[in-house]
């Protein structure tokens, strides 16, 4: 298990009650009526967030939430709603870009407060939102038991079927003067949707347009330092490239990443992502060509992923000391990315 998660499991702060009084860290873009709530993922800032899209019409402020990190985020998101004078019962939609636990595991907790909300999800994810047993069981294998998963991401409980609605590719859902178009996107996971807010021409990409660490940008003054995430088990490098190009072609003015915040130079970021994804894909092809044995695959890919990240980080930090700090932070990503490529090689190549 990853060191950062082990430390978190041991710490006192896993108790969601500790967060009830917390003043949530938010970014509010008034011109688009979009708020980013920092969900304090495993006790860290600027890693994972939930977006609040406020209504732009109507007498009472309503909203839709996009992604919700985990069960610990529920009090944080509720505090954020309060901060912006939105009643929990005025949450119309709880949208999950995909059902990975770091995006969706706050949903059942939020529904206890947001009594009028409907959950919008990809058709392949809907049944796992209604009954999370299988989702939690597979996470239990990674995190050393169901108790650990509940402690890290929960409480995750069943959701009644009538609260969950599948969205089809291209479907437009209107609320509060906004039009949200849902786009099915392969590459990161088979149950992923991106959301195009047509009113502000903003796109919410979940994990399909890379991830970024705002801490890096303070050093380099380059706000578009991104890399692709290839977590198991649905990653497909070829589809991931197609998705980046597909999203780029929509020509959004900005793309809001779940991890973390908005990016504005869409073409530059798309080029960087395609280049990186091609490197990931090459790692897979090389492993296949060299006929690496299954039990040696993870070590093989991890070595390549590690050196790719090393080179990448060296290009974005200022000195060796920072390089080591960032490399330590990235360990979790390197590990998960490698596992995702191994799964792809073993099952789809």
Task: Write down the least CB distance from residue 185 to Zn ion, Å.
Answer: 12
Residues 340 and 100: their CA atoms lie apart, in Å, by: 13
Are the beta carbons of 121 and 166 closer than 8 angstroms? Answer: yes
Query: In terms of CB distance, is 197 or 333 closer to Zn ion?
Result: 333
Task: Write down the least CB distance from residue 58 to Zn ion, Å.
Answer: 33
Query: In terms of CB distance, is 86 or 152 closer to Zn ion?
Result: 152
Query: In terms of CB distance, is 207 or 236 closer to Zn ion?
Result: 207
Task: Write down the least CB distance from residue 50 to Zn ion, Å.
Answer: 14
Which tokens belong to 207?
A: 């994990």
Q: Which of 97, 203, 120, 106 is nearest to 155 (CA)?
A: 106
Q: What is the CA radius of gyration of the chain?
A: 19
Task: Write down the least CB distance from residue 143 to Zn ion, Å.
Answer: 15
Query: In terms of CB distance, is 207 or 335 closer to Zn ion?
Result: 207
Residues in touch with Zn ion (CB under 5 A): 100, 207
Task: Write down the least CB distance from residue 61 to Zn ion, Å.
Answer: 30
Query: In terms of CB distance, is 56 or 211 closer to Zn ion?
Result: 211
Q: Which residue is nearest to Zn ion (CB)?
A: 100
Query: In terms of CB distance, is 63 or 240 closer to Zn ion?
Result: 240
Task: Write down the least CB distance from residue 184 to Zn ion, Å.
Answer: 15
Are the beta carbons of 210 and 257 closer than 8 angstroms? Answer: yes
Query: In terms of CB distance, is 87 or 124 closer to Zn ion?
Result: 124
Residues 296 and 276: their CA atoms lie apart, in Å, by: 23
Task: Write down the least CB distance from residue 207 to Zn ion, Å.
Answer: 4
Query: In terms of CB distance, is 240 or 287 closer to Zn ion?
Result: 240
Angle CA(289)–CA(294)–CA(295) in degrees, nearest 5?
135
Query: In terms of CB distance, is 62 or 212 closer to Zn ion?
Result: 212
Task: Write down the least CB distance from residue 262 to Zn ion, Å.
Answer: 18
Task: Write down the least CB distance from residue 231 to Zn ion, Å.
Answer: 6
């Amino acid at each position: 298990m990853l060191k950062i998660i082990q430390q978190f499991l041991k710490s006192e702060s896993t108790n969601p009650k500790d967060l009830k009084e917390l003043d949530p860290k938010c970014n509010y873009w008034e011109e688009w009526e979009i708020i980013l709530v920092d969900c304090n993922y495993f006790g860290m800032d600027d890693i994972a967030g939930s977006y609040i899209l406020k209504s732009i019409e109507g007498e009472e402020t309503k909203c839709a939430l996009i992604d919700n990190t985990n069960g610990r985020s529920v009090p944080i998101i509720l505090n954020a709603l309060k901060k912006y004078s939105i009643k929990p019962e005025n949450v119309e939609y709880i949208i999950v870009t995909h059902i990975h636990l770091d995006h969706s595991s706050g949903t059942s907790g939020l529904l206890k407060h947001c009594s009028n909300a409907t959950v919008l999800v990809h058709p392949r994810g809907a049944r796992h939102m209604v009954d999370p047993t299988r989702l939690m069981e597979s996470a239990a294998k990674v995190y050393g038991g169901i108790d650990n998963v509940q402690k890290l991401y929960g409480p995750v409980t069943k959701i009644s079927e009538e609260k969950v609605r599948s969205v089809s590719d291209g479907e437009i859902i209107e609320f509060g003067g906004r039009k949200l178009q849902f786009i099915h996107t392969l590459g990161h996971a088979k149950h992923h949707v991106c959301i195009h807010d047509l009113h502000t021409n903003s796109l919410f990409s979940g994990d399909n347009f890379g991830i970024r660490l705002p801490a890096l940008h303070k050093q380099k003054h380059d706000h578009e330092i991104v890399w692709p995430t290839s977590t198991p088990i649905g990653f497909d490098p070829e589809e991931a490239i197609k998705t980046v190009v597909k999203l780029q072609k929509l020509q959004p003015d900005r793309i809001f990443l779940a991890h973390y915040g908005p990016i504005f130079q869409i073409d530059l970021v798309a080029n960087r992502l395609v280049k990186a994804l091609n490197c990931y894909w090459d790692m897979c092809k090389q492993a296949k060509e060299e006929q690496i044995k299954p039990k040696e695959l993870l070590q093989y890919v991890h070595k390549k992923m590690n050196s790719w990240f090393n080179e990448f980080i060296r290009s974005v930090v200022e000195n060796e000391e920072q390089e080591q700090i960032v490399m330590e932070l990235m360990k979790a990503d390197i590990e998960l990315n490698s596992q995702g490529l191994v799964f792809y090689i073993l099952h789809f190549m």
